[in-house]
Amino acid sequence: MSYDRYLAICSPLHYAPRMSGRSCLQLAMGSWIGGLLACSITTVPMSQLTFCGPNVIDHFFCDLIPLVKLSCNDPVLVDTLAFTVALIVLLVPFVLTLGSYICILRTILRIRSTIGRQKAFSTCSSHLIVVSIYYGALMIVYMFPTTDLLSDFKKVLSVSYTVLTPLVNPLIYALRNREVQEALCKACRELRT
């Protein structure tokens, strides 16, 4: 999405050829393959662990870090591997997204008309909100050391990036649509009467 916004604002004349159906498919395939590789890198060592203690995960879902805590093996290797993968999988896209938004912000600030600036900020603001919630929660959960103090907070944040972000994402984008705004206002008026 940040690449899409970058092209739309910083290079609008090149948008159509660079965001063709083939380009979108290549970007999606790259994301899927990267996700599969990242999951495989941590899943293979996890499958080698032995579990001999209680089988109750202290989490909302079966996540990597709480699962490693249940293992009888020394978790240092898997924890280090998980941190390294999280570092790569989180920071590389985050830095690319941040870089694209820095370029977008520089381009927006050069726009002379106030209406043009507002339209450009409107185009990017919804995506930036969702990305900030998503990356912020992921980085805190996977890159900060797990302590008893942060354990419950990390559970809440994991719900944030697994449930809240996908739930809010369509709402944020839908509320930018004028027809949806009008339908929402109409529904609210009908509820009042």
The answer to whether residue 191 is domain-embedded is no
The answer to whether residue 168 is domain-embedded is no
The answer to whether residue 171 is domain-embedded is no
| Domain with 75 in it | 2-161
The answer to whether residue 139 is domain-embedded is yes
Catalogue the long-range contacts made by 93-97 (C-beta closer than 8 Å, 24 or more residues apart): 94/135, 94/139, 96/2, 96/3, 97/2, 97/131, 97/135
pLDDT digits (tens, 9 = 90+) for 101-157: 889 889 888 888 888 888 888 777 777 878 888 888 888 887 777 666 777 788 888
pLDDT digits (tens, 9 = 90+) for 35-46: 899 888 888 888
The answer to whether residue 189 is domain-embedded is no
The pLDDT of residue 25 is 92
